[in-house]
Structure 1
Amino acid sequence: MKLKWTFLLLGLLLLVSSSAAHAHSNNSEGFSTIDVQDQTIHYRLQLDMVELSHAAGFKVDERQTDNVEALQQALTVNKELLQEYLNTHIHIYADSIPVEGTINEALIAQVKDRPFADLSLSYSAREKPENLILEYNAFFDDSDPSHANMAKVNMEENQQEFIFTYEVRELSLGEMSFLTKAKQFLSLGLEHIFTGYDHILFVISLLIGAMTIRHILSLVTAFTIAHSVTLALATLEIIQLPGKLVESAIALSIIYVALKNIFQPDTKHRPWIAFAFGLIHGFGFAGILSELNLGGGHLATSLLFFNLGIELGQILIVSLCFPIILLIKKRLALKWLLPSVSTAVLLFGFVWFIQRAF
């Protein structure tokens, strides 16, 4: 009987010791020092090395935490993994525009007699930010809910000390001026329309099927009103649709208009078609705004000028393309060109639909 209890006691001791050897460092600490210098945000981040290995998904020998060389090797080998972890768990917004960090240096430091990863990151903004928002989510949901990070932020004359915890994960410093907001989101809208090749091809397809300047004005107006409505509804989170569904539907809209241009070249597009598809494209335009950190005070101005940027981009596309399309239609020798363009648009639409739907 005594032998049985002896084996049971030994088993419990082994279990406890094994758990202790692999346990996370509950109540882990972190330290952040953030300095904004012109267009660059310098971020020095210190995190418990053992806890970081658990969270980011790489291994360190927890029995040899005093082996600095081995820990340094683990940091160096897993730098890309660390980069991915930090970029998905720490988000910085400069004037509401997300900026992505790059690890410049990764060293081992001793903090409170424990090995810490001492990481130096830099974030590049388009211009010197007036407002900085930091969302910190390291460790909380995947490793240590009791984690706390003591942060110090220096931004011109604004200095703030803050503690990130499970319950409080966002820090905001400074305030954007109206002109900065307007400029940022007007530029963002222009950039979005000129890099949104699916939207550009849809507008060009509408132009190919247009008969007169008055007709194209009615199509563009209907498309603009429709996408402005759904852009606002989606950004305000009144109506939300799955991104995969929206992107697939945008590809189908391109396919439909291209097919109509090929097989019914003499039938003009009706404004209600542009309006119906404009509703879908508006949800697509809203996708980029959903990625930004827009507080209530920023939302109205941001939405207004982002949409204005899109409209200016559309006007430029129409102004450049429609005269060329009219010229091609009047030249008999070039009439083969528009069906060829529509066929190419159709192929792009099919490829996008397959990529997005499956």
Structure 2
Amino acid sequence: MTSVRRLLSTLLLTAFLLVGGLASPAGAHPMSTSAVLLDVRDDRVEGEVQLPIDRLAVAVHRELTSASVLGADRSFLGDYTAGHIAAVGDDGTPWTVTLGTPTVRTIDATDHLVYPLEIRPPDGRVTDFDLRYDVVVEELVTHRVIATVRYDFDRGILRTDDAQTLGVLDWDTTNLNVPAGQGSWVRGFVTTVGLGTEHVGEGADHLLFLLMLLVPAPLVASGGRWRAAGASRRRVVVRVVHVVSAFAAGHSLTLALAAAGVIHVPSRPVETLIAFSIAVSAVHAIRPLVARGEVLIAGGFGLVHGLAFASLIGDLGLDRGSLVTTLLGFNLGIELTQLLVVVLIMPSLLVLARTACYPAFRLTLAALGLLFSASWMLERAALTPSDPFEGVQTWLVAHPLLVAASLAVLAVVALRLTPRTSSTGRLT
């Protein structure tokens, strides 16, 4: 029987392609597909079903429009769709399948009827299960249904870029195994560490803020100015640790509060304040604002940066059970990136600080920080349409090793060709 169905499917598909090939271009219609998108949670599976209205009309033998599917045909189509979707656990127990309120959405230039989907196991524990689905395909041999998992914490699927295609359902294949019980919290944790690393590593504003705070680290504030005198290596290390720790404490606090829903601040003012934080740290790099100002700036504005970090976690739609793990992993990724920046940059800054060219280097870098921050503030406050320096910033962030290597070369050249400063701050 299966071989007969396969042969019939092949013949009908061939006939369809021949007819489509002979048709005029104006009369040709692309062979659209349906989609099933799944989000695996701790106690349920959520998602949505996307049905192209033109294919659905053929399958149910009715004239359907974007208006009728939500009006006169709504009840009929809901019953039809629900009757052709089922889920069975790995122990053979049926799971409850519920469709939500439908909407019409244009996907790939085709109107789709979209149903929110919820699948619940009877014992509240999601494991591997079989998805049995033949909406539309039970009537249309040429139709295909693409099933995709777009969120599964234990398997490390957290974003659209991570989505995994489970398989394709069609007239001949209407059953698909969903590996919802595989993976572990470790895999999700590792993925969130990567998210934290990526978020900071690709965020020019976060990196520039940290760099502005590191620039005065080899110096000592004296008489309202930065001086090289007395800046021992031990003291520099302590100051860097204090800066990084203050920033970590600040962003960790607001990240946790925002991710837990305790506080919420719109993204536009947060992003604008982040740009302002760079301006403040750049001014401090030019001339010390207050004693130990870099630590205060790192901790205070770290609170603002944490709100920006929380926006990414909020977009993940985490379960309460995975929220703590995600916060820990994301924070670890942020701290690892910060430490990497320190390791790549600080040795060169320490060498440069011993030369006569460091004041010019520090002032030039601080001026660039002010320029970039002003451009970001204007754009994020919607006062300018775009950031004219975006291309430069993107390039710099995309080539961190080249930037670090260039700084190291500059430090070596400066050490060899320019006078050095003594422990009293004078040139030697």
**So what's the TM-score if we normalise by structure 2?**
0.49
Which structure shows the higher strand fraction?
A: 1
2: CA distance between counterparts of 1:125 and 1:226?
A: 32
2: CA distance between counterparts of 1:224 and 1:128?
A: 25
Report the Cα offset of residue 129 of structure 1. 7.6
SS in 1 for 2:353: helix
Match of 2:348 in 1: 324
SS in 2 for 1:240: coil
Report the Cα offset of residue 260 of structure 1. 2.1
2: CA distance between counterparts of 1:134 and 1:326?
A: 40
2: CA distance between counterparts of 1:306 and 1:252?
A: 24
Q: From 51, 55, 71, give the equivalent of 1:46.
A: 51
Task: State the number of aligned residues.
Answer: 249
Report the Cα offset of residue 327 of structure 1. 1.4
Match of 1:192 in 2: 199
**Which runs of no fewer than 5 residues in structure 1 stay unpaired?**
1-29, 37-42, 56-77, 92-108, 136-151, 159-172
Q: 1:265 to 1:335 in 2, by over 3 A?
A: farther
2: CA distance between counterparts of 1:118 and 1:258?
A: 59
Q: Confirm or deny that 1:231 pairs with 2:255.
A: yes
Indicate the larger mover: 117-126 or 231-240.
117-126
Report the Cα offset of residue 214 of structure 1. 1.1
Query: Matches of residues 62-81 of structure 1 in structure 2 within 5 Å?
Result: 80-81=108-109
Q: 1:34 to 1:292 in 2, by over 3 A?
A: closer
Match of 1:301 in 2: 325
2: CA distance between counterparts of 1:343 and 1:181?
A: 41
Query: Matches of residues 127-276 of structure 1 in structure 2 within 5 Å?
Result: 130=155, 154-156=176-178, 158=179, 173-174=180-181, 176-210=183-217, 211=219, 212-264=236-288, 269-276=293-300
**One-letter identity of the residue aligned with 2:300:** A
Q: Confirm or deny that 1:290 pairs with 2:296.
A: no
2: CA distance between counterparts of 1:128 and 1:294?
A: 8
**One-letter identity of the residue aligned with 1:46:** L
**One-letter identity of the residue aligned with 1:280:** V
1: CA distance between counterparts of 2:316 and 2:289?
A: 41
Q: 1:89 to 1:244 in 2, by over 3 A?
A: farther
Report the Cα offset of residue 155 of structure 1. 3.7
Report the Cα offset of residue 187 of structure 1. 0.9
**One-letter identity of the residue aligned with 1:204:** L
1: CA distance between counterparts of 2:365 and 2:116?
A: 44
Query: For each residue in 1:129-160, what CA deviation from the matched residue of structure 2 results, as whole angstroms up to 9, or x when unmatched?
Result: 8387999xxxxxxxxxxxxxxxx87345x5xx
Calculate percent identity across the aligned residue pairs: 29
Indicate the larger mover: 173-182 or 324-333.
173-182
Q: 1:330 to 1:129 in 2, by over 3 A?
A: same
**Structure with larger RCO (C-alpha < 8 A, sep 6+):** 1
Report the Cα offset of residue 200 of structure 1. 0.4
SS in 2 for 1:239: coil
Bigger Cα Rg: 2
**Which runs of no fewer than 5 residues in structure 2 stay unpaired?**
1-32, 40-47, 58-63, 69-105, 118-135, 161-173, 220-235, 383-428
For the 8 Å contact 1:252–1:349, the answer to whether it is kept is: yes
For the 8 Å contact 1:35–1:153, the answer to whether it is kept is: no
2: CA distance between counterparts of 1:239 and 1:199?
A: 21
1: CA distance between counterparts of 2:339 and 2:36?
A: 45
1: CA distance between counterparts of 2:156 and 2:144?
A: 24
Q: 1:294 to 1:219 in 2, by over 3 A?
A: same
2: CA distance between counterparts of 1:282 and 1:174?
A: 33
For the 8 Å contact 1:182–1:301, the answer to whether it is kept is: yes
SS in 1 for 2:51: strand
**So what's the TM-score if we normalise by structure 1?**
0.58
